Amino acid sequence: MENTYIVYAKRTPMGKINGVLSPVRVDDLMSYLFADVKNWANFDLKEVDDVMVGCANQAGEDNRNLARMSLLLAGFPTEVPGTTINRLCGSSLDAVIGASGRISMGLADCIVVGGAESMTRAPYALSKAERAHGRGQKLYDTTLGWRFPNPRMKKMFPLFAMGETAEEVADLYKIGRVEQDEFAYNSHQKALKSDFKKEILAVEIETRKEKIIVDTDECPRADSTMEKLGSLRAVFRDGGSVTAGNSSPMNDGASCVVVVSESFLKKHNLTPMLRLTGAGIRGVHPNTMGLGPIFATRNLCERFEKKVSDFDIVELNEAFAAQSLACLRELELDPSIVNIKGGAIALGHPLGCSGTRILTTLAYSMMENKNLKQGLATMCIGVGQGIALSVENCN
C-alpha cells in the first residue's frame, strides 16, 4: 500500500453570498485554482490520473460534472478525466479520502482534488406537473436545505432546517446562548489575527467599470462584539438560541489540493506538505446532524489505532456554534488547538468547498509550526453524517 501525500493546497478568498465573488460562475472559480495547479506542476499534466471535485448543489452552473467542466476551462489536457462528488458539506473532504484510497490501492498516482460552491448563484428549481395541464408544481430555492423531499421520509422524522438541527443539539447538550455567542466571537477574533496570504489564490474579477483583485476573505467581522451578537434574535425557533451570528454564513468559494503517491512524489522531486494517515465516515440521526464529527472521529481512531489526544491541531468545520461546542465536549478536545485561525462562522461555509478549505488551512497551520505533528480535519454533514481525515506534518 502506497503512502499518500498532499503536495499542493490553495483556496480562493471566501466571499459573502451576493458579495464580491457573486459575478463569478462556480466552474470558473474552480478553474482558477486548476490553472494555478497547471502553472505549479513540474510534470506533464497528462500524468494526472483524475480530477475529483466536491460540490453540494449541482442544480445550476455547477451541473453536468463540475470537475470535467472546470479542468477543461483551466486548459488541462483532454485526456485528464474528472468526476464530481456529492456528500453535501463533506463533499470535497470525501473526494480527498477517495483519492487517497485509490492511490493507496495502486489505481492512481496523482489526483487533483477540489471543492467549489457558489451559493449566490444557486438557482431556483421548479418541479414538473405530474400530468398534462396539472397543477401543484413546487418552486425551491436550491441555495440550502431540503428540496423535493420524499413524503415517505416526512413520516419517518421531521425534516428540520439546518438551524433547527443546531437547536436540537443545543437543547440536548444544554448549550446556552452566551456560550454560543462567545464561541462565534472568538472565531472572528482568531480569523482577524491570522495571516492567510500563503493559502489564498487571489481572484481577478472584471466588472463593468474595472478589474478588481480579491485576495481577502469577506466575512470576518472586525466590528463583532458580544453585545451585537447578543442583540440578534433566534432565527429558527421561538425562544431558541441559534442566531445568524452564531451560525456559519452562506458563501462562495473554491479550494484545491493535489494528492500523490510516494513513488510519484519521489519521481518528480515534489515537496510533501502532509501525509494522509486515516479517515472515518459515520451516520447519525438527521435531526442531530451536527454531532457527526464525534462519531466519524471515533471511527477513524478505532480503525487506525489512534486516540483523540494524539492530535496536536484540529480543524472542525463550524457549521454552528452549538454543534461545534457539543463536538468539543464529547471528544474532550482542548479548545486552544481547535480552529486556531478561526473557523467557518468567521471565514464562511461554501458547502462543497469547505472540506478542502479546512484541509488547506490545516496544512499551512502545520507547516508554520513543526511541533504540530498530527492533525485532524472533521465536519458535520446535512441529513446526518460526519467525516474525518487525519494527517501527519511532513515538515
Residues belonging to the active site:
89, 349, 380
The answer to whether the CB of 115 falls within 8 A of the CB of 55 is yes
Q: How far is CA 209 from the centre of its chain?
A: 33
d(CA 190, CA 50): 36
| CA–centroid distance for 200 within its chain | 15
**Three-state DSSP state, 89:** strand
DSSP 159-188: ---HHHHHHHHHHHHT--HHHHHHHHHHHH
Q: Using CA of residue 242, residue 351, residue 328, residue 221, what is the dihedral sign?
A: negative
Check if the beta carbon of residue 293 is closer than 8 Å to that of residue 381. Answer: no
Count CA atoms closer than 13 A to 171's CA, side-chain side: 11
d(Cα 372, Cα 182) in Å, to the nearest integer? 26
Q: Alpha helices, DSSP H only, in 242-395?
A: 262-267, 292-303, 321-331, 344-347, 354-367
Determine how β-strand 110-118 pairs with β-strand 50-54. Answer: parallel
In 3D, which of 35, 112, 106 has the Cα closest to residue 356? Answer: 112
- Provide the H-helix boundaries in 86-176: 91-104, 151-156, 162-173
For 258, the enclosing helix (H) or strand (E) is: strand 251-261
Distance CA 333, CA 8 (A): 28
Which residues are CB-neighbours of 218 under 8 A, at least 6 positions away? 13, 14, 15, 16, 19, 20, 21, 348
374-381 and 313-316 strand pairing: parallel
Rounded distance between C-alpha atoms, residue 282 and residue 161, angstroms: 21
In total, the chain counts a number of residues equal to 395
